[in-house]
Structure 1
Amino acid sequence: MEAGISESGLEGKNEKMTETINNIRNCELGCYRDRYLFPLKTTGNRTISINELVNGKPLIDDWRGQKVLFISQAPSKQAWADHELNSLKNSFLSDFLLPKVYPEENLETAIEKWKNSVFWIHTANCYPFVFSKERKRDRSPDMKCANRYFGQIIDVMKPELIILMGLSSTKYFSHCFKLLLQHKKTGYPTLNEIIDLQYNNLGKSIFISSKSDKKAIYDTVIIPHAADWNKLSEKEKFAYELLFKKLN
């Protein structure tokens, strides 16, 4: 049982988390379905059909009483088509993250430890792929899903640690980062500004809050997407080293 939470309180927390997850999974707004205009190739020779994209359901983790909240931009194409979030088919997990977080474990044991520790959501839970030719990467989703659900999840879960991966995941918390950065410009702080802040903080914790309960603050780590580990800057690698330390 969690410290400071009664048996009835823990049961209520589990019910609220399950209810919120079900609401996300059963969302029928279909915010991005009109953008799925062509089949998509994944790794190898597999092609995801338009029907798989359009008929997919919002993808979010199962609740297992996890202590860590991990927020990334959107499901990968493979995860969306397979409707499976924590999978060894996900090369980011199997090839990069798990071996560094659990270096002494085989992948099957490591992913079970990850699943029991980390609750994974996205800025947009139904946005697998919208490519920008100008930026040569996926366009960032808007904040519809984040503004609708982030506060509910954080205020009920009360995580011990929040991991924010990529710029889109930081936008909901811009009220915190603007204050920390003394950011007076319009728009959102850039990911580089936030990564610099974390680096210059010399590993001390950065605390953020949800918009719905600004009195409750949560330890956080901000990381870039590790699409190419070898090209990350010193400050970006420091972010991952900080993450590995906090997860162990």
Structure 2
Amino acid sequence: MTTFVVVHGAGGSAWEWHLVAAELASRGHRAITVDLPCEDPAAGLAEYAAAVVGAVRAAPPVPATDGVVVVAHSLGGFTAPLVCETLAADGLVLVAALVPRPGETAGEWWETSGYEAAARERARREGVDARMDDDDALVATFMHDVAPPLAAEALRRGRDQAARPMSDPWPPAAWPDVPTAYLVLEDDRFFPPDFLRRMARERLGLEPDAMPGSHAAYLSRPGELADRLVGYARAFGSPGRRGTGARPAGHAGAAGPPVR
């Protein structure tokens, strides 16, 4: 069995991943979904990481025979790598997530990663313009393939995102020593898929995997997403591999296809 520790994105919640958690449970695995303190103006990356670790420690203990895989979505990419060593994670899966560099802030990332230029080019070329000025725009940008009642519930449960994590420099000197996989969402209207592929190659040195779905594929395609996560866990291998130098294909420094 694998315990998946899920870190949501900006203004999100543990609830967003409840369908994926149910799908994982039906496959014999467990998900620990975390509510980050995103509405707390005093909470920064350290507090976000502490919330993840606290949620794991508050849950029933992870059996020694379990693997532990940390999953990050969107802005969660700034938090998830910070907890991998503390949790002795066997792998890290980034789902349409930001990939930070040492000392970079999330506020800087939008320009330094090339996102803003890529979004402008996509809007010019394809007419896809990510907007967030009202509920209809939020659904069109993030949840266009989610069933309307579920999208409405997601909007109702949405939380404000305080600014502090955007100004905290990412503290590690390097990416954590943990096998890493990147999953692009092919129908994402917020993060252009080609941009995400380029970022994963440039910043992690790996070839990303891909599946259909919007930025909220955890609501629109939970079964397929659960299958992908289980496949990654299987590729990462036995519990306790972290730090041994073992890497699945696709990790930085390794040749070969993405983890599957």
Q: TM > 0.5 between the two?
A: no
Q: Name the structure, 1 or 2, with higher relative contact order (CA <8 Å, separation 6+).
A: 2
Higher Rg:
1
